[in-house]
Structure 1
Amino acid sequence: MTSHEDRSMIVITGATGNIGRSLVGRLLAEGAAVRALTRDPARAALPAGAETVGADLTGTDDLTPLLAGADALFLNLAAGGERAAAAVLDAAAGAGVRRVVLNSSMAVSDTPDDDAHFISRMHAGLERAVRASGLEWTCVRGGNYATNALAWAPSIRGTGVVREAHPGAQGAPVHEADLADVAAVALLDRSGAHLGKAYAVTGPEQMTLARQIAEIGWATGKDIRVEQISEDEAAEAMSGGFLTKEDALELVRMFGQTVDAPLFPVSDTVERLTGRPGRTFARWARDHAADFS
Structure 2
Amino acid sequence: MPHTSGEHSTRTVLVTGATGNVGPYAVRQLLEAGANVRALVLKDDPNLHRLPDGVELHYGDLADPDSVEAALPGVDGVFWMWPFFALSTATAPAVLERIAAHAGRVAVVSSVGVHLGIEPVDNNCHAYLEKLLEQTELEWTFLRTTGFMANALGFAPQIRTSGTVQFPYGDAVRTSVHESDLAAVGVRALTEDGHAGQKYLVTGPEALSQREQVQIIGDVLGRTLVWEDIHHDAARKAMVDTGWPPSYADGALDYFADLCVTPEPGSTVVADTTGRPARSFREWAVEHADAFR
What is the TM-score when the length of structure 1 is the normalising length?
0.89
> Which runs of structure 2 are paired with 1:43-192 in the superposition (5 Å)?
43-45=47-49, 46-59=51-64, 61-78=66-83, 80-94=87-101, 96-109=102-115, 113-115=118-120, 118=123, 122-189=125-192, 191=193
Q: Which runs of 5 or more structure 1 residues have no equivalent in the other structure?
A: none
Deviates more, 1:52-61 or 1:265-274: 52-61
Distance 2:199 2:16 in 1: 19
1:63–1:87 Cα contact (<8 Å) kept = no
Deviates more, 1:10-19 or 1:154-163: 154-163
Distance 1:203 1:156 in 2: 23
2:65–2:95 Cα contact (<8 Å) kept = no
Distance 1:226 1:168 in 2: 10
Distance 1:246 1:93 in 2: 31
Distance 1:278 1:70 in 2: 29
Secondary structure of the equivalent of 1:63? helix
**Deviation at residue 178 of structure 1 after TM alignment:** 0.4
2:114–2:126 Cα contact (<8 Å) kept = yes
2:115–2:201 Cα contact (<8 Å) kept = no
1:10–1:70 Cα contact (<8 Å) kept = yes
What is the TM-score when the length of structure 2 is the normalising length?
0.89
Q: How many residues align?
A: 284
In structure 2, the residue matched to 1:283 is: 283
**Deviation at residue 230 of structure 1 after TM alignment:** 0.5
The one-letter code of the counterpart of 1:275 is: G
Identical aligned residues as a percent: 35
Pair 1:236 & 2:237 matched = yes
In structure 2, the CA distance between the partners of 1:60 and 1:104, relative to structure 1 (3 Å rule), is: closer
**Deviation at residue 97 of structure 1 after TM alignment:** 1.0
**Deviation at residue 84 of structure 1 after TM alignment:** 4.3
In structure 2, the CA distance between the partners of 1:73 and 1:241, relative to structure 1 (3 Å rule), is: farther
Aligned Cα RMSD in Å? 2.3
